[in-house]
Amino acid sequence: MKKSLIINNLEFAQKKQKLADSFAVSDLTRLAEVLAPHDKNIRPATIHFELTGVCKQFSQPGLHLRIKTELPVICQRCLDEMLISIDLSFDYLISDTTIDALDDNDEMDWLEADNEMNLQELIEDELLLAMPLAPAHEENCSKSSMQSGEKPNPFAVLKGKIK
C-alpha cells in the first residue's frame, strides 16, 4: 500500500493540507468481494479521491473527502456486468477526545485523532456502505422488455450461464 495513504489526520486538518491521488480497486480486498469478477478485457477500476484539511479559527478541525470511481457490478435483473458511477462527498470532524464522549445526535461524522489513519481503509468502508444492495441497469437492460409481474425463471437464467 502507498505510504501516502497513512496520514496524521489532525495535523492534515490543522495544516489545511490537500491530497489528490488514486489507486486500483483491486487494492481493496473487502470491496473486491462484492464486485463483479474482474474481466481481463476491461481495464481495472481506479478509485480517485481528494482529501482536504479544513480548519477554521475557533472551530473543530475537519476533513473533506471526495471519492469518484466507476465500479463493475452484476445487474440483478439480467445478470450482466454493468458499471455504476460513484461520486461521494463526506465531511468529518476530528476530535482528540474519544468518540463515545461526544454528542452523537448531530449529523456530522467524527473521526478520532490518529497519527496513523489509514485513508485507504476509510475509503473502502465508505464505498462498502454506498454500494447498492441490488444494482440493476436503469436503461438498456436486456431484461427491461419483460412484462411487469413476470419473474425470470432462475433455472433458465442458470442454463444461460452454463456453456
- Name residues contacting Zn ion, limited to 138-157 (CB under 5 A): 141
Q: How far is the CB of 82 from Zn ion (least distance, A)?
A: 6
Stretch touching Zn ion by CB under 5 A, among 21-29, 65-73, 114-122, 130-138: 130-138
What's phi and psi for 117, nearest 5 deg? -75, 130
Q: Which is nearer to Zn ion, 6 or 79 (CB)?
A: 79
Q: Applying CB under 5 A, which of residues 38, 48, 64, 137 lies at the interface with Zn ion?
A: 137
Q: Is 63 in the site for Zn ion (CB under 5 A)?
A: no
Closest distance to Zn ion from the beta carbon of 26 (Å): 24
Q: Which residues of 66-95 are buried (b: 16+ CB within 10 A; e: fewer)?
A: ebebebbbbbebbeeebebebeeeeebbbb
Per-position x/- string for 64-93, each x denoting binding to Zn ion as judged by CB under 5 A, each - no binding: -----------x-xx---------------
Cα 133 versus chain centre, distance = 13
Smallest distance from Zn ion to CB 38, Å: 19
Residues making contact with Zn ion (CB under 5 A): 75, 77-78, 137, 141
